[in-house]
A and B are shown apart, each in its own frame.
Chain A
Amino acid sequence: MSPKNDALFELVKELVETPGPSGSENLIQKKIKALVEPYADETRVDALGNLIVRKGSKEAGGMRVMISAHVDEIGLMVTHVDENGFARFHTIGGVNPMTCIGGRVLFMDGQKGVIGCERLQSNALPKIEDLFIDTGATSREDCPVQVGDVAGFERPAIQLGGRLVAKSMDDRISAVVAIEALKALKSSPHEIYFVFSTQEEVGIRGATVAAFGIEPEIGLAIDVTPTGDTPRARKMNVALGAGAAIKVKDASFIAHPGVVNWMVATAQAKKLPYQMEVLEYGGTDGRAIQMSRAGVPAGCLSIPCRYVHSPSEMVDRGDLEACIKLLTALLSKKIDLA
């Protein structure tokens, strides 16, 4: 593997392994700010913790563009510590109890723990209320965590051939795409706002206020999307390795047809592998941008990802590189929404 490819993996690894569930994005935002500052014209953090990075000013024929990649991950918050030091918790975002059992968590202050489960009736599926975190404590008094403490899941990032596996590819991999596009962008007629948004997993909240403040004329969310290419999968057209996914629709919004056509035309012109995506559930920052003020044409660039919201989300390196190239190409030229 060439050093250049390793640098990409190292960036992915650094971002996915940083804890930062919705509402606790300080650490990840600090990391990203340090990475983007050399390339940015302006950075600011807003009232909900969104990191907003401006690149360029509007030239003739240019537009004010908002690109949104959310930096929050799913996680959990402690609700109660019992007298034996076991901690109960509530979920932050869509956490599947089945992916929790036996898993490891990492609290924002570095404390670690393991998730256990009460005995279940046979054939019953676990619920969040059946689970608890064991930090190795023996009593409430010596338990190192307390009500309100926040943890993300813990799993080191690895490579499996041409595939990258980690927790929180959703949506740190999109932050990677945004950062790499920002670095690769040589020139652009547009005023671009790269928004590293917060609290997407709990209701697309960060992007809502970021879009209001920016008032973009066009917006693009970047997020992961599930695939249909594993055994007896829920039917889905998107496959790992088949290229950047251009979202037509998900459960939260219908992408603006002009934006979809612009993305397809650009991918075709640059001979980049791409695939069309229709997702029957799920939502992304695209919805928040679309519904802002008087409405904004919006779309979503998706990175195909297997096992979304599990500790081992898998993306394809080729898809990742295609997304970076596509985003760079989209931002480099005038935008035609016909």
Chain B
Amino acid sequence: MESNAKEKPEFNAELSESDLFLLTSLCTAVAVSGDEKEVRDIVLEAVRPHTDEISVDALGNVLVTKRGTARSRPRVMVSAHMDEVGFMLMRDEGEGLFEFRVIGGIDERQLVGKSVVVGPDHVPGIIGAKAIHMTTPEERKVPLKVSDLRIDLGPDGSSKAKAGDRGTFGTKFARIGPSLRSKALDDRLGVFNLIQLVRYAPENIDLLAAFTVQEELGLRGARVAAYNFAPDLAIALDSTPANDLPHYDLDESNERYNTRLDGGPAIYLMDGATIGDRRWIDLLVKTAEAEGIPWQYRQPGRGGTDAGAIHLSREGVPSISVSVPQRYLHSAAGLVRVDDCVNTLRLVHAALARLDSKFLKQER
């Protein structure tokens, strides 16, 4: 498929109406690790007009190549994961009640009393809890275990869903003032930004866009995608906790915020899976300063992104992660600032545009 480079519109990171529509579709789609079809279909439709090569590999990753025009172009892999955390229905108990297990890292205390959606038909359901009138104070101190909870689809549930189906929180996407509130902002924001990068890829690189699967289950898709692409460099686009709430004790300061809302895109120094390549860090910071884009470091700590798998592929790939700060990650509703999302796209686009063949010749 030919890319219409000649008629490429000017890059503008601000969210248009159609951008918001695409973002809403992405966040509303149900694509829990292991069954990313709904998001994969949206991605394929969105990028097809803009690609030189597109394929779906053995794990279900969408691999998109957008070739540049400059001489001796670096091959840069940019990844965003399509999967979200959620649940799998394990057993139909009858009467529409299903035993379930969690997929990905969800704090079990986030489950009770929530609405859910199950399967490609988005069958609505609930995770109920015993009426408070019937509980004792001691009981209310003990979190309910997943094995005690049930997804209730209503009495006809068995005709609508079965064991093996996957589901997730039923939170509706909403724009609230400067913020977006939704489930699956991790990592549909990254997927959205990557689609934009494919549309507006700079000419000085070959952009290898990887829409990966199963990040939440151990970076599984990224490992294979990186092997398939064999890139020179890589960036992982993800979302990371903003634990920027005040400490309960007012005179205690919060020194472990990880990132802050409104602080701009978060550049990773070191997480549990990757020590970021210094050259990438320098490039991103310099670019942000030069372009007047707010930025912050993600505090060194635990966790991981697709970069963890990519940087160890084959003979090694200098890699970095850049994430949108998000409150309440992996819960029913996450919260981000529109500005942080837009600035992440601006920063990554501008940094990519500054890459050349001399980048890797610098000392690490």
Contacts and interface: CB of A to CB of B under 8 A. Distances in A.
B255 A88 contact: yes
Which of A78, A90, A147 is packed against the most chain B CB atoms within 10 Å?
Answer: A90
A82 B257 CA distance: 13
Contacts of A22: 275
Given A77-B300, A79-B299, A147-B297, A213 B315 contact: yes
A90 B311 CA distance: 21
B63 to A, nearest CB: 21
Contacts of A48: 311, 316
Q: Determine chain B's interface SS by DSSP, over half rule.
A: loop
B269 A49 contact: no
Which of B253, B273, B313, B315 is packed against the most chain A CB atoms within 10 Å?
Answer: B315
Interface in A60-79: 77-79
Contacts of A45: 364
Nearest to A88: B255
Given A79-B299, A147-B299, A26 B255 contact: no
A203 B271 CA distance: 12
Interface stretch (A172-180, A204-212, A226-234): A204-212
B253 A82 contact: yes
Contact of B275 (A50, A89, A202): A202
B315 A129 contact: no
A147 B269 contact: yes
A77 B269 contact: yes
Nearest to B273: A203
Contacts of B314: 209, 212-213
Which of B275, B315, B317 is packed against the most chain A CB atoms within 10 Å?
Answer: B275
A90 B301 contact: yes
Interface in B254-299: 255-256, 269-270, 273, 275, 281, 297, 299
Interface in B34-58: none
A209 B316 contact: yes
B256 A80 contact: yes
Contacts of B60: none
Contact of B270 (A46, A77, A205): A77
B299 A80 contact: yes
Q: Determine chain A's interface SS by DSSP, over half rule.
A: mixed
Interface in A2-50: 22-23, 26, 45-50
A43 B311 CA distance: 22
Nearest to B314: A212
A144 interface: no
A257 interface: no
B315 A209 contact: yes
A47 B269 contact: no
A295 interface: no
B331 to A, nearest CB: 23
A47 B273 CA distance: 16
A50 B318 CA distance: 13
Which of A48, A129, A208 is packed against the most chain B CB atoms within 10 Å?
Answer: A48
B312 interface: yes
Contacts of B281: 148
A202 B364 CA distance: 18
B300 A90 contact: yes
Interface of B: 253, 255-256, 269-270, 273, 275, 281, 297, 299-301, 311-318, 363-364
